Chains A and B, each alone.
Chain A
Amino acid sequence: MASEGELGRKWDRCMADSVVKLGAGFGLGIVFSVIFFKRKTWPIAFGSGMGLGMAYSNCQHDFQSPYLLHGKFVKVS
């Protein structure tokens, strides 16, 4: 893995995470809107906004931490 590709990989992770968080927030917003809020629109917007905010925070953390290595947890049984 070339070190000059690390920034590109961080951007890719950021974009993928934004898509996932937006989708999850949107989905949970729909669930809460249907179950609790009589199918109003604002929980969907709130959930999507929360998802985007979480994604932005994760991206910021990723870009501002240059010395952290991204590894995988390997469970030792």
Chain B
Amino acid sequence: TAAAFDSFRFVIKGSLAGAAVYVAYDQGLLGSGTHGAEALRKAQAALPPAIQEWTSYIGWELPPTPKFDFSPSDSWNKGVQTVMSALSVAPTRACEYTVEGWNYVKDLVK
């Protein structure tokens, strides 16, 4: 009976592990890049209503969750443009700040 119980336990464990792997495969988590990106989009769409439902069930008042519509390439490109425009106006700004600082020091010394 101990052997039967052990094999029964092994079958249960194997079933649970197999079910986990199958669910992951069925949701497209283990497939190509497009499937993975699609799965992330679906999860992002499903998360705020789920959080809202759970917090209302528990009774907490949370502020509305921000939208996670995040594009890494857009953020990177915006960052590069910001840095480059800052670098392009940097010499002019440096001159202006130097003149202002010099006038300030002159006024202090007067």
Contacts and interface: CB of A to CB of B under 8 A. Distances in A.
Interface of A: 7-9, 11-17, 19-21, 23-24, 27-28, 31-32, 35-36, 54-55, 58-59, 61-62, 70
Question: Which interface residue of A14, A16, A28, A70 has the most chain B CB atoms within 10 A?
Answer: A16
A13 B24 contact: no
A1 B29 CA distance: 26
A36 B30 contact: no
A11 B73 contact: yes
Given A21-B29, A58-B32, A13 B17 contact: no
Task: Give chain B's interface residue range (CB within 8 Å of chain A).
Answer: 20 to 34
Identify the interface centre among B20, B30, B37, B76: most chain A CB within 10 Å of its CB. B37
Given A28-B21, A28-B24, A36-B17, A70 B30 contact: no
B40 A20 contact: yes
Q: Decide if the interface of chain B is mainly helix, strand, loop or mixed.
A: helix
A8 B36 CA distance: 17
Contact of B24 (A27, A35, A61, A62): A27
A21 B37 CA distance: 10
